[in-house]
Amino acid sequence: MVEVNKAKFDEDGYTLIKNVLTKEEVEELRRASYKLIEEDEKNGTYIIHRFAKNHIGCLTAVPEFRKLILDDRVIEIATQLLGEKPTFFGDCIMEIGIGNRGFHKDTANRNDQNHPDWTEEYPVIRIAFYLEDHSEHSGGLKVRVGSQNTVKTNEGKAVILPTQAGDAAAFCLRTSHAGNAVRLKFAPNISLHNSLEKRIPEFLKVPEEKERISIFLTYGLKSGALDRYMEYMFNHGVYQKRILNSSYSDELKEEISSKLDFIDITKAYEEYNTK
Ligand SMILES: O=C(O)CCC(=O)C(=O)O
């Protein structure tokens, strides 16, 4: 049974859950990630995201990732944070390498405080797994504490989450967050501005422990927020590619639906385009 502090999550906009996966499970996912990207290189099913390779297509097609998405511990975290059986709608990402930096939101609307994304409940969360240490190394996730209620991305104390391989970091899509944190050798816990992070010379940085592999799984509750987020996906070039490179056999749909509420995003996208 995983311990999740929902009250703290609601207050801070994020939470770190320790030791969700075992060492062996982390290693299995690392191997599966390299294998998947190797196949992607042959098939062209990836995008380059700054210096990272980012798989295009729903990860449920790959057994090791399907196992993670449908894992009881992961579903338990999502259920506790959302308060009900989570909906999975195919938004899941695996990336190898250093991606973008800079605080941002993941919501459909990111700048209008009066928009329903900011005035209504927002039951859509991401659960992130970093398959290496970031408690003492660069490359991890930064969040701004309590930033889930403002469109501003410069409000709230910036902290670098001390994730270790096997931990899960969960955040509301409204929470300001940034990837690829740079830890300074002489002040490893100070969060630097993104423009500065890019200019820090290598000798001043704490290096990464090993090549960064990150996995982001999105779960939500059926809501206006989720509808708007899916509409945002339908109109976003990269998400369009992801959707078009996803497919759900009847067997897969059944397997996902045995654990989660499921929206087949490929169908929803088709319907959206024929409206
Ligand atoms: O790359 C990361 O660590 C953060 C990912 C991110 O910014 C996102 O999921 O929107």
Sorted by where each begins, the domain ranges of the chain are 6-274
Pocket test for ligand 1, best of 129, 141, 197 (most atoms within 8 A of CB): 141
pLDDT digits (tens, 9 = 90+) for 189-246: 999 998 999 899 999 999 999 999 999 999 999 999 999 999 999 999 999 999 999 9
- Decide: 214 in ligand 1 pocket, CB within 6 A: yes
Query: 35 Cβ partners below 8 Å, 6+ apart?
Result: none
Query: 95 Cβ partners below 8 Å, 6+ apart?
Result: 49, 52, 53, 54, 55, 212, 213, 214, 215, 216
How much is the average pLDDT of 144-161?
98
Mean pLDDT for all residues in the chain: 97
Sign of the C-alpha dihedral computed for residues 173, 245, 139 and 216 taken in this order: positive
How much is the average pLDDT of 47-56?
92
pLDDT band at 259 (very low <50, low <70, confident <90, very high): very high
CA–CA gap between residue 215 and residue 50 (Å, rounded): 16
Q: Which amino acid is at 140?
A: G
pLDDT digits (tens, 9 = 90+) for 115-128: 999 999 999 999 99
Q: Whose CA is nearest to atom 5 of ligand 1?
A: 179
CA–CA gap between residue 78 and residue 68 (Å, rounded): 12
Specify the residue for token string 């709230």.
Answer: 156
- Decide: 139 in ligand 1 pocket, CB within 6 A: no
pLDDT > 70: what percent of the chain? 100
In angstroms, the first-to-last Cα distance of the chain is: 44
CA–CA gap between residue 156 and residue 154 (Å, rounded): 7
Q: Whose CA is nearest to atom 2 of ligand 1?
A: 179
pLDDT band at 78 (very low <50, low <70, confident <90, very high): very high
Q: How far is the CA of 84 from the centre of ligand 1 (A)?
A: 25
C-alpha distance from residue 160 to each of 19, 45, 139, 187, 232 (Å): 18, 31, 10, 12, 28
pLDDT digits (tens, 9 = 90+) for 238-247: 999 999 999 9
1, pLDDT greater than 90: no
Specify the residue for token string 């800079």.
Answer: 102
How much is the average pLDDT of 41-49?
94
Q: Which amino acid is at 13?
A: G
Residue 50 pLDDT: 85
Residue 99 pLDDT: 86
68, pLDDT greater than 90: yes
Architecture of domain 6-274: Sandwich (2.60)
pTM: 0.97
How much is the average pLDDT of 142-157?
98
- Decide: 98 in ligand 1 pocket, CB within 6 A: no
Number of H helices and E strands in the chain, helices first, is 10, 12
Specify the residue for token string 């899960």.
Answer: 168
Which DSSP symbol is given to 28? Answer: H
- In 3-77, the DSSP E strands lie at 14-17, 46-49, 52-55
CA–CA gap between residue 171 and residue 34 (Å, rounded): 26
Query: 44 Cβ partners below 8 Å, 6+ apart?
Result: none
Residue 90 pLDDT: 98
pLDDT digits (tens, 9 = 90+) for 172-188: 999 999 999 999 999 99
How much is the average pLDDT of 17-37?
98
Q: How far is the CA of 49 from the centre of ligand 1 (A)?
A: 11
Contact 86, 78 (CB under 8 A): yes
Which ligand 1 atom is the nearest neighbour of the CA of 100? 1
Pocket test for ligand 1, best of 51, 59, 98, 100 (most atoms within 8 A of CB): 100
Q: Whose CA is nearest to atom 4 of ligand 1?
A: 179
